[in-house]
Amino acid sequence: MDCIFCKIVNGDIPSKKIYEDELVIGILDINPHGDGHTLIIPKKHYEDYKEIPDDLLIHINKVTKILSDKLENIFHKNSVTFVVNYMDAQAVKHYHKHIIPGFNKKLEYSVDEVYKNIMES
C-alpha cells in the first residue's frame, strides 16, 4: 500500500509524534493552519469514516479531548477547530482527524518550536 500515513505509522517516514497508544498516533501537521495543528491517525488503515469501527471513533474523540486541552493550554489559544475531510476534500485517503488550535490565525511558532514546547510540557 502506498499510503503516506501508513508509512508514518510504521516509522518509514519521520514525523513529529506527540501522542501514541495502541490504536492511534498524534502527529503535528507539516503545513499547519494554526499553532499545534495536529492529526490523529488510526494505526490501522481505514480509507474514510464510513469504514472505521464506532469504538475506534469514540477512542479518537477521547484522544481529541486530551490533545486539544493540552494544545490550548500550551499555546494559549481561545479557539480550536476539529476537521474530518471526506471524499474529494480528503487529500490523504486514510481516515484522520485534524485538531487546529487558533484556526487560520497568524502562526507564532514553527513546527519545530511547537514540537519542542509540547514535548517539554
- Give the residue numbers annotated as catalytic, written as ranges: 96
- Cell matching residue 91: 487529500
Q: Grid coordinates standing for 3?
A: 499510503
Q: Comparing C-alpha atoms, which of 4, 34, 16, 3 is closest to residue 101?
A: 34
Q: Decide: helix, strand or coil at residue 24.
A: strand
Closest CA to 75 of 20, 23, 116, 29: 116
**Cα dihedral sign for 108, 93, 119, 67?**
positive
